[in-house]
Amino acid sequence: MSHEFDVAVLIGRFQPFHNGHAALLATALDKAAEVVVVLGSAHAARNARNPFTWEERAAMIGASLNEAQRERVSFLPQRDCYDDRRWAAAVAAAVGQAVAPGARVALIGHLKDASSDYLKRFPGWSFIPVHQQGEIDATALRRIFFEGEETAAGKAATQALLGGLVPPAVLHYLLGWAGLAPYALLRAEHAAIEESRRIWGSGPFITVDAVVTAAGHVLLVERGRAPGKGLWALPGGFLDGRERVVQGAIRELREETGFALLDAELEGALKGVAVFDHPDRSARGRTITHAHYFALECSRLPEVAGADDAASAFWLPIGELAANESRLFEDHFNILDHFLGLGGPET
């Protein structure tokens, strides 16, 4: 069978893979001899918005294909970096390495709204639009998956609802995955986020974070509550009404770690401030953070201890950050990479 293109590219998070995604993949298989599925939000810690690892998503997509189709589909994990141009360049470079030189490449996608603008960032590829296949939304699917009652009747209702929206093999995968440990943790996180939205809304919120380095180490906290309970994070939190952002960053640093340096010493160590404002950076809603980089000139690490929202505070060698990317909360790996040059997200 001859195909119009050598390679078709399908980009998405697929959290989870549903019938709308399946229609896009079917178009890709029809248009090209090979299909590269780019799995976004890869290598990050699980959260209620991104519950499945890229390996799990590849497995559920693969399970929905027959043997001949599986041989034609490959998977390419891609980190989020919340910088559209940098992300698109990383995707194009990764696909370029995965396909033969001079390959005719098609990009398969559905132009839904502003969240689909990434599809316009690959001028070297032929774009093939696909119409939306019914009213299917992954956010609604996750709500069904996490909010169903934990009774026999509730589980049957969840299965019935999901059964009409995802391929049969994916439904089987989801039902089995719900018996694993991450499901209970993310179900609780989902509930905490929904309760927060009920009380506080979905933003915009203004937060502050502190990147503090000393003697080749960076200061981190372990989050003590959802969202992200147990994950590593930068000391930080919400800005108070009458604070400047640097004042808020120093206050949160003290509250969560017991940091004892004077404000004047910290302000003298301030090397940079950056705003991180991608609409999808936080599952809690639109959250704009001002990250402050304090580089301390000292040979001994200051004493720290977790308090307030932090279960613990600790110094981690900077060289160990890259290996622990999947333990970091939200986009905090990207914030650290911005200031410390960790080699991500392209690598």
What is the rounded distance in angstroms from the CA atom of residue 99 to the CA atom of residue 289? 38
Considering only the C-alpha atoms of the chain, give the largest distance between any 2 of them, rounded to a whole number of Å. 72
DSSP at 108: E
- The verdict on 175 and 237 lying in the same domain is no
- The verdict on 212 and 331 lying in the same domain is yes
The torsion region of residue 216 among left (phi > 0), alpha (psi -120 to 50) and beta comes to left
Mean pLDDT of 115-135: 82
| C-beta separation of 166 from 141 below 8 A | yes
pLDDT in tens, 95-117: 999 998 989 999 999 877 666 77
Mean pLDDT of 17-37: 96
Mean pLDDT of 288-310: 92
- The verdict on 28 and 155 lying in the same domain is yes
CATH of the domain at 105: 3.40.50.620
In a domain, 193, yes or no: no
- The verdict on 131 and 235 lying in the same domain is no
Number of domains in the chain: 2
> Which of 124, 150, 184 is the C-terminal boundary of a domain?
184
- The verdict on 322 and 287 lying in the same domain is yes
Query: Which residue pairs from 249-252 have beta carbons closer than 8 angstroms and sit at least 24 positions apart in sequence?
Result: 249/208, 249/209, 249/210, 249/290, 249/292, 250/210, 252/208, 252/209, 252/210
CA dist list (Å): 338 to 181, 275, 333: 33, 11, 9
Mean pLDDT of 25-36: 96
Query: Please, where are the H alpha helices in the chain?
Result: 19-31, 54-63, 67-70, 84-98, 138-147, 152-163, 168-177, 181-200, 245-257, 263-268, 332-340
- The verdict on 28 and 177 lying in the same domain is yes
In a domain, 192, yes or no: no
Structure tokens at 227: 């969202």
- The verdict on 55 and 162 lying in the same domain is yes
- The verdict on 258 and 119 lying in the same domain is no
In a domain, 196, yes or no: no
What is the rounded distance in angstroms from the CA atom of residue 260 to the CA atom of residue 267? 13
- 305 — pLDDT class (breaks 50, 70, 90): very high
pLDDT in tens, 277-292: 999 999 899 999 999 9
- The verdict on 212 and 329 lying in the same domain is yes
- The verdict on 176 and 147 lying in the same domain is yes
CATH of the domain at 308: 3.90.79.10
What is the rounded distance in angstroms from the CA atom of residue 220 to the CA atom of residue 294? 13
331: containing domain: 205-340
- The HSE-up count of residue 140 (CA atoms within 13 Å, CB side) is 8
